[in-house]
Structure 1
């Protein structure tokens, strides 16, 4: 125990701070308390430090990567610093010696984020028109990756999706000292399809325990990618992304995936379409997410009669199948679903959900303003429902009427309401207060989570009305609202 009776020991602090792993702002604040708090929280913060910049106010979005970059440069071994210096790379960092070996704490490595930091720093400090800039970036990235490979004892996640960057593609960091130990237990891997075959071959010799794989398909699909897939032992989750302008032949990759009992499959088609008939071979799927730019999922007819006895989550973003096909699919598989998401209105589909999906816990459907009875029917039929996302305004449901139905007809386990305002909120304060009063009188009592859906910098939702916000705060203090949050329109 600590000599200071008022101070928690390190193991207790560690257990507490683990709950803050996704709250980078709070973790960063813990660094500043004292030496003990700093020593415990820094290890958790630096597991996945790349997401830190997305949690701070926008005016600090460039400051945070610069600080992370300077810290990494300060952590480089002396031989790396000397190599950079000899090649004319002069990077100003803090004069103090690093308190910790920050690189060794990393469990989730994003090479793209490292590359972005380097590009920003080099192009800012060096003459961006010089032919040496690309070499500078290459050399710095090489030395940072070399440090990571030697310092990380066991990496969990590797993001090698480079988007437009080509700086790193010729750095075969799988050959660096320590890479075998670092990468052997990798369980989450994201990559571009056109990374050189040699890298995929080397990784396949080191790492055979990938459980979650994300592939962004470019115009080239490296030969080694299918070999890497084939040698895995525990692959369960796969995300396939058709990049803009990519012309992809998926055959070999799909063949490599076919032998795995996949439980989660996500397909994102951006200006490209991926045929879906192959899904029928993955009967162990528990989750299917389809996101296409087109307005219609063309070949869903090949799936409408296929049974997926383990399927629990089905989501469509933007594009959707023809309604009659989707209804037929729900007649077969709806009884298995616990989550269903489709951002498209069709009252026949809504009625089919009420009829065929009795075990739903989370739901997103579109209801028109004259379809309150359909919403009641969904609530009455789906008695396990815990969360629903509803669009309000214009031709969609009126807020007051929607809230009345939610308070009176939602099932006893219901606790989360997501409100997506299509037009400016017209909800009056007294109407809002009436809803919370009615909710508080429900039996059994259950605190409500209220989520406001926004589109970019949305200024039409409930947040706009100051009086409504005062009411929300009032019922938060009373415990009627247990959570108030926001959600991007694109979150599925």
Structure 2
């Protein structure tokens, strides 16, 4: 069996194995050097998303050998760049699967600037259009597309896209970004219309329109993309002011929709179509009209596995109805309120009684009541916990201390990640760590005083549990990290934080 794999007699199995290295470019490149069979499998995977490489894109010149004579003439008019044409072994352009137009244009311009002492922006635009033309004509079929029109696409590109239906035919993940200027508006709409005609197997669709001037025409053509789809599973809407046409189009996807994310959108009762999304499993509402959305969702028939609500304020009663219906299916929950304390008594009781299988829990703006330790005690599968609690000034310090110690002792043996912060003063960091038996591997903690003592506590916890490796400490004391160097690794917050 092993000999068959290494000699290439089982190419399908080898392709599946090497596909797992898709994001590990150096490892995939090493596999391409093993033998001829591995090379034939590795190179198409390596070149499926070349513009995501975090290095100078010198590979761009590899594409030039596939240009026709007229295109090479145009390239030579770009100056010294036009002379960089080398022979290649593979039809690299045909392997393209992922195209992020914004990243693509930036990488081309970066490459041009690395070669020209006085680069002209027009040179980069010319090469972008030549490469787009090559990708389409080569027979490439995209699976992932992010559109962001910040350059002028030549009419011949749209003509080729209209003739070559296969280029967009296998698209599964599409992200439509805002248009950078009025001059690019027509090109953006034309591109989206071609998408609507040729891409009918999209599973994930995202719309992000920052400029309200361009929002409405983009929204309408975006809706035309939604309607012919066979099975959209995920929809993401960011910064939308008028969702009427999009929401109306989503009605055709009620049976297939599994995930909805709405970020800073102007929502209305039109979202009542959510009531019919029986297969909806993931719902995220982030600083949108949460009261409306939650009221609608609370009366729907769906049962969620992931619920994320971030808002200035929201109605806990609607959340409770969603939790009760989702019950043991719920695995990840984030409830974040930035302006008011979360109404917690009935909410925590519902979580304790109905949702025992949560593996990720994020709660902010919550008081440290006696119910909180009881909830944690019941979550025996919890792996990720974020608590941003508010100290009740009416509670005595020794009472809060006892509750913190009790919670620390009840943290389950499955817990690997903890983010701990009191939104006012927090003198209980040491009480938490000294009594915690959970095998934490990652810890994010806030310090406002007692810095030296915390360093000692961190070191003791590391020595005692032998599991803690990565820490982020939010503190104004820049010397604090030096106190526990050699024991745990301090990591920037954005690299250590785990999102819902």
TM-score interval for Structure 1 and Structure 2 normalised by the shorter chain? 0.7 to 0.9
- Alignment correspondent of 2:419: 391
Aligned residue for 1:363, secondary structure, equals strand
- Alignment correspondent of 2:484: 465
Q: 2:374 aligns with which of 370, 373, 377?
A: 377
Matches for 1:57-456 after TM superposition, within 5 Å: 64-85=55-76, 87-91=77-81, 96-123=86-113, 125=115, 133-134=121-122, 136-162=123-149, 165-168=150-153, 172-173=157-158, 175-176=160-161, 179-192=164-177, 196=186, 197-217=189-209, 218=211, 219-220=213-214, 221-222=217-218, 223-242=220-239, 248-261=241-254, 262-269=257-264, 273-275=265-267, 277-282=269-274, 283-284=277-278, 285-292=280-287, 297=290, 299-300=292-293, 302-303=295-296, 305-317=298-310, 319=312, 321-323=314-316, 325-327=318-320, 329-344=322-337, 346=342, 348=345, 349-350=347-348, 352-366=350-364, 374-389=371-386, 390-392=418-420, 395=425, 398=428, 401-402=431-432, 407=437, 418-423=442-447, 426=455, 427-436=457-466
Matched, 1:9 2:3: no
Q: Partners in 2 of 1:98 and 1:279 — Cα distance? A: 53
- Alignment correspondent of 1:445: none
Pair 399,337 (structure 1): closer, same or farther in 2 beyond 3 Å? same
Q: Partners in 1 of 2:494 and 2:463 — Cα distance? A: 20
Pair 359,14 (structure 1): closer, same or farther in 2 beyond 3 Å? same
Q: Is the 8 A contact 1:213 1:237 kept in 2?
A: yes
Q: Give me the TM-score of the superposition, normalised by structure 2.
A: 0.72
Pair 368,185 (structure 1): closer, same or farther in 2 beyond 3 Å? closer
Q: Give me the TM-score of the superposition, normalised by structure 1.
A: 0.73
Q: Partners in 1 of 2:354 and 2:303 — Cα distance? A: 16
Q: Partners in 2 of 1:461 and 1:352 — Cα distance? A: 40
Query: Which of the two has greater helix per residue?
Result: 2
Pair 267,70 (structure 1): closer, same or farther in 2 beyond 3 Å? farther
Q: Is the 8 A contact 1:454 1:489 kept in 2?
A: no
Q: Partners in 1 of 2:86 and 2:107 — Cα distance? A: 21
Pair 383,491 (structure 1): closer, same or farther in 2 beyond 3 Å? closer
Q: CA deviation at 1:338?
A: 1.5
Q: CA deviation at 1:107?
A: 1.6
Q: Is the 8 A contact 2:385 2:419 kept in 1?
A: no
Q: Is the 8 A contact 1:149 1:173 kept in 2?
A: no
Q: Partners in 1 of 2:361 and 2:114 — Cα distance? A: 47
Whichever of the two has the greater Rg, that structure is 2
Q: Partners in 1 of 2:483 and 2:89 — Cα distance? A: 45
Q: Partners in 2 of 1:489 and 1:169 — Cα distance? A: 43
Q: CA deviation at 1:404?
A: 6.4
Of residues 308-317 and 395-404 in structure 1, the stretch that sits farther from structure 2 once superposed is: 395-404
Q: Partners in 1 of 2:99 and 2:309 — Cα distance? A: 30
Aligned residue for 2:230, secondary structure, equals coil
Matches for 1:30-41 after TM superposition, within 5 Å: 30-31=31-32, 37-41=38-42
Aligned residue for 1:466, secondary structure, equals coil
Q: Partners in 1 of 2:4 and 2:252 — Cα distance? A: 56
Pair 489,200 (structure 1): closer, same or farther in 2 beyond 3 Å? same
Aligned residue for 1:88, secondary structure, equals coil
Structure 1 runs not aligned, ≥5 long? 54-63, 409-414, 437-447, 473-484
Pair 107,263 (structure 1): closer, same or farther in 2 beyond 3 Å? same
Report Cα offsets for 1:151-171 as digits up to 9, x if no partner: 244321111134xx2334867
